[in-house]
Amino acid sequence: MRILADIATALRLGIVAFILYAGVQYGQEAFGAVAAVFLLGWILDTLDGHLARAAVNAEPSWLGRNERLIDAVMVVAIWLYLTLIGIVSAWICAAYLAIAVLLLARFRSIAILTVLEAPIVLLLLVVAFVLAPLWGWLYVICGVVGGILDRRRLRVRITILWEDVRHLRGSIDHEVAELSLQDRGEDRI
């Protein structure tokens, strides 16, 4: 099962390459194909998680340990595709990516990564409803069906995300308190 999970994860790297190639080579004409492979990528993401948890060998491979990074790379590929087809301006794309890198380097948080990915995925959904409404509806249907079929795992993911948000908030509160103490110390000098 582990090898099948790794294959599903590796296929998502191929999806990243396809999305970027389609954006450079075909632009907006390839939107339907890009929407299809991106949806396939999320289906593979769900599938590889189930396969990995069913594996007898509990030790994840390199692909398994970096699966969340591969998810993020797939979202970045969509962001770049939307930029290549003119939906997002190049300077907004670059600024968003720069801010994302700075935030992730500073906090190393799944919650921040999820928050940064959400607007991109939602923008893709909106664009799908405009450029290819069938794909917009397929995204919604797959999301609802996936949430229903995998509701236990969805609850686990929400719990993990919530715990990460609480941990992140505690870290930020601690840093703000330290900065406040430093400021008061500087005022006394």
Same domain, 41 and 116: yes
Residues 63 and 102 in one domain: yes
**Do 70 and 30 share a structural domain?**
yes
54 and 143 co-located in one domain: yes
Chunked into runs of 10 residues, the chain (189 residues) has average pLDDT values of: 84 96 96 95 85 74 85 95 97 96 86 87 95 94 85 74 73 67 56
Q: Which residues of 99-133 are buried (b: 16+ CB within 10 A; e: fewer)?
A: ebeeeeeebebbbbbbebbeebbeebeebbeebbe
Q: Determine the structural domain holding residue 180 and report its residue range.
A: 151-189
Looking at the structure, tell me whether residues 70 and 14 fall in a common domain: yes
**Do 116 and 68 have their domain in common?**
yes
Structural domains of the chain, count: 2
pLDDT in tens, 60-112: 788 888 888 899 999 999 999 999 999 999 999 999 999 999 988 988 877 78
